[in-house]
Structure 1
Amino acid sequence: MDLLTAILLGIVEGVTEFLPVSSTGHLILAGSLLGVQDKGTATFDIVIQLGAILAVVVLYWQRFWSVAKGLAGGQARSIAFVRNIALGFLPSAVVGLIVYKAVKRLLESPTTVAVALIVGGIAILAIERMVKRVRVESVETMPATTALVIGIVQCLSMIPGVSRSGATIMGALTLGVDRQAAAEFSFFLAVPTMLAASGYDLYKTGAALGEGDWLAIAVGFVVSFLVAIAVIRWFVAVISRHGFAPFAWYRIVVGAVALIALHH
């Protein structure tokens, strides 16, 4: 993979990681378009997501620091925050270990992505119409069972094109979580989830990567971090005003165009 391609894919990752449109799906479609679909690309797609995840740590460092201080002091809110993130992470950690090889194969299928984009877009529109009642307004006040169920729903995002953020946010909304709280829980949940996914993938494939592969990953990581910094706050502002419907229609259009292009 040349550096220009790594930069372009880093931009795609940074823009799409926290939007409910599937960053992995977009990376697969973009990689197919750029002619870089191979087994090494699957590892690149997974690992550069850490750059976008680092953006969450930077933007919300005060929140994380406050939680850390609260844990040291035994504060109930901080304990609830960590408990909920852990419960949300647990299902994907277990399922991911079981279906790792199957997921890697799916990462080579642009058609799977296109179909999942369309189906997911329709699901978002349906959920947006159904969900009205809000019972949870922050990550700290989320019941443990709600966090666990959202974590189970997150497992659907192992299918490329479903979207990790889309699955967790829509799952949260159906359980009565406020829009902004749902988005923030998805952001925070991404940190342990993608750290684990990237670490496990590098453990499995790192020895086979060459110097050029590591350089491409480093470039994609930095670019995705810088772009994600700008996108996260924009995303929270958009959903507060317009909800998730614009992203649903975008998914449907992109999925349809991709299907036509792939099978023309």
Structure 2
Amino acid sequence: MPDWLNAIILGLIEGLTEFIPVSSTGHLLLAKSALGLPDGFWDTFCVLIQLGAILAVVALYFQRLWSMLIRAPKDPEARRFIASVLVAFLPAVVLGVLLHDLIKEVLFESPRLICWSLIVGGVALLAIDRWPPPARRHDAMKLGLPTALGVGLMQCLSMIPGVSRSGATIVGGVLLGVEKRAAAEFSFFLAIPTMAGAFAYDLYKSRDALNLDQAGLIGLGFLVAFVSGLVVVKAMLDFVSRRGLAPFGWWRIVVGVAGLVLLAR
């Protein structure tokens, strides 16, 4: 299969899975393995194209986010929102830098770990959807700093491929009393600095290994992830409000079990 088609397939998977709690990284790495793509560049590709999906959030929430930024010097509420996102972001910064090589060189290379993470995460989603704690917070832009920090600590679990960044942050928010839709929305906001930081750091670490031909493939995957991400972000909040998290839990379990069966052959 030509590399440009591989780039489109992986970009589509990234955009469709980044914002739903099924683990975009897990799906990307399993797809990479199924397509027979070598390690190295394609692992980096899977990280770098995530910025395309994140820009979809920036595009859709631009007015609200820009309003918060320009109001921040005079509006305490705007400053609290910005602070909540930064506080939630900090744990991932520290652990991401410390564990970068372990994540890329060990955890990314374990399809069985990814499958088991998908299954365990699926069971967790089914449980939190069936027995959610009482919701005390209903506005993603008005979370307290302790709640934001708790969500940020939960996000660190997503450094294990297959756990899901959005899944970890949504479950963390719900456990801390955030209503499901608001937890999903805060997960979107937190994704912006988290994935932008991962993109910049991985690009820096891989700068000597990339060439112009590979830049074209990354650009193609980036574009496909952006467009498909726009579609998913628009639909995600309404879907969670209507159907909850259980469908994603069952999907994770099915994919994880199927992956284990294929690996056992």
Range into which the TM-score falls when normalised by the shorter chain? over 0.9
User: Offset at 1:22?
Assistant: 0.3
Partners in 2 of 1:133 and 1:167 — Cα distance?
18
Deviation larger for 152-161 or 106-115: 106-115
> What residue in structure 2 maps to residue 81 of structure 1?
81
User: Do residues 92 (structure 1) and 92 (structure 2) align?
Assistant: yes
Partners in 2 of 1:123 and 1:45 — Cα distance?
25
> What residue in structure 1 maps to residue 14 of structure 2?
13
User: Offset at 1:107?
Assistant: 1.3
> What residue in structure 2 maps to residue 38 of structure 1?
39
Structure 2, unpaired ranges of 5+ = none
SS at structure 2 position matched to 1:140:
helix
Length-normalised TM-score, structure 1: 0.97
> What residue in structure 2 maps to residue 126 of structure 1?
127
Partners in 2 of 1:200 and 1:39 — Cα distance?
16
User: Offset at 1:139?
Assistant: 2.5
SS at structure 2 position matched to 1:6:
helix
Cα offsets for 1:19-40 (capped at 9, x unmatched)? 0000000000110011113111
Whether the 8 Å contact between 2:151 and 2:169 is mirrored in structure 1 is yes
> What residue in structure 2 maps to residue 104 of structure 1?
104
SS at structure 1 position matched to 2:142:
coil
SS at structure 1 position matched to 2:38:
coil
Q: Which amino acid aligns with 1:122?
A: V
> What residue in structure 2 maps to residue 143 of structure 1?
144
> What residue in structure 2 maps to residue 223 of structure 1?
224
Q: Which amino acid aligns with 2:151?
A: I
SS at structure 1 position matched to 2:207:
helix
> What residue in structure 2 maps to residue 233 of structure 1?
234
User: Offset at 1:239?
Assistant: 0.5
Length-normalised TM-score, structure 2: 0.97
Partners in 2 of 1:222 and 1:202 — Cα distance?
17
User: Offset at 1:96?
Assistant: 0.6
User: Offset at 1:227?
Assistant: 0.4
Q: Which amino acid aligns with 2:145?
A: A
User: Do residues 261 (structure 1) and 262 (structure 2) align?
Assistant: yes
Q: Which amino acid aligns with 2:109?
A: E
Whether the 8 Å contact between 2:141 and 2:186 is mirrored in structure 1 is no
Q: Identity, % of aligned pairs?
A: 49
Partners in 1 of 2:157 and 2:3 — Cα distance?
32
Cα offsets for 1:88-113 (capped at 9, x unmatched)? 10000001111111100211222111
Partners in 2 of 1:247 and 1:53 — Cα distance?
20
SS at structure 2 position matched to 1:55:
helix
User: Offset at 1:206?
Assistant: 1.5
Partners in 2 of 1:263 and 1:214 — Cα distance?
35
User: Offset at 1:129?
Assistant: 2.1
User: Offset at 1:228?
Assistant: 0.5
Structure 1, unpaired ranges of 5+ = none
Partners in 2 of 1:210 and 1:140 — Cα distance?
41
Partners in 2 of 1:211 and 1:109 — Cα distance?
29
Cα offsets for 1:225-259 (capped at 9, x unmatched)? 00000111111111010100000000000000011
Partners in 1 of 2:98 and 2:133 — Cα distance?
36
Q: Which amino acid aligns with 2:37?
A: V
**Displaced runs of 4 or more, over 6 A:** none
